[in-house]
Amino acid sequence: MVMSIDYNSIISAISVLAGLIVSTFYARRAKKAEVYAKEIENAAGYIADADKMIELVKKANAEVAQSNEKLIDTLREENEKTRKSIEKLERAIKRIDLCPHRNQCPVYDELQGPEGSREGSGKDNRRNGNRNRPGHDGSGTT
C-alpha cells in the first residue's frame, strides 16, 4: 500500500509551526518592551526622587549658609569688642609710667615680666618697699 502524501496537511502543519514561532518571537519582544517601559518608568521615578533630594540639599545648604552668616556676624561683633578692649588695655599700659601711684600698683608689678623673672612676689615687695624699679632703690628715697 502506498501512502499518499497529503500536501495540505504538511502545509497546514508548517503554517502552524511558523505561526507559533512568529507569535513566540513577538510575545517575547512585547514582554521585553514592557520590561523596558517599566525600567524607564522606574528611572523617571528615580530622577524625580533625585530632583527632590537635590532641592532638599539646596534648601539645607541655604539654611546652613544663613546660619553661618549669623555666626560670622556675631563673631565679627565679638572680635570688634575684643579688639577695642585690647586697644584700651594697650593705651592704659602705655600710660602706666605716667601714673603717680605706679610704685604701689599691683598691675604694674604683673606687667613687669613673667612670674619667675621677679625676685619675690609683688605683695611682699610692696609691703617691704623693696621694689626693683628704675629710680627706686628700696631705701625710701626715689
User: How does pLDDT run across 13-69, given as a tens digit for each residue?
Assistant: 899 999 999 999 999 999 999 999 898 888 888 888 888 899 999 999 999 999 999
Coil/strand/helix, residue 133? strand
105 in a domain, yes or no? yes
Residue 112 belongs to domain spanning: 99-133
- Asked if 99 contacts 105 with a C-beta cutoff of 8 angstroms, the reply is yes
Give me the number of domains the chain comprises.
Answer: 2
Distance CA 118, CA 135 (A): 17
Kindly state whether residues 66 and 47 are assigned to the same domain.
Answer: yes
Residue 136: strand, helix, or coil: strand
Residue 3 covered by a domain:
no
Cell numbers found for residue 142: 626715689
Both 66 and 89 in one domain: the answer is: yes
66 and 112 part of one domain: no
Q: What percent of the chain has pLDDT above 70?
A: 76
Domain annotation covers residue 1: no
Domain check: are 110 and 44 in the same one?
no
Check whether residue 20 and residue 83 sit in a common domain. Answer: yes
Question: In this structure, are 89 and 107 located in the same domain?
Answer: no
Same domain, 30 and 94: yes
Instruction: Tell me whether residue 120 is in a domain.
Output: yes
pTM of the model: 0.42
Same domain, 37 and 27: yes
- Do 70 and 120 lie in one domain? The reply is no
CA 4 to chain centre: 91
pLDDT in tens, 94-140: 888 888 888 888 877 777 766 544 444 444 444 344 444 444 444 44
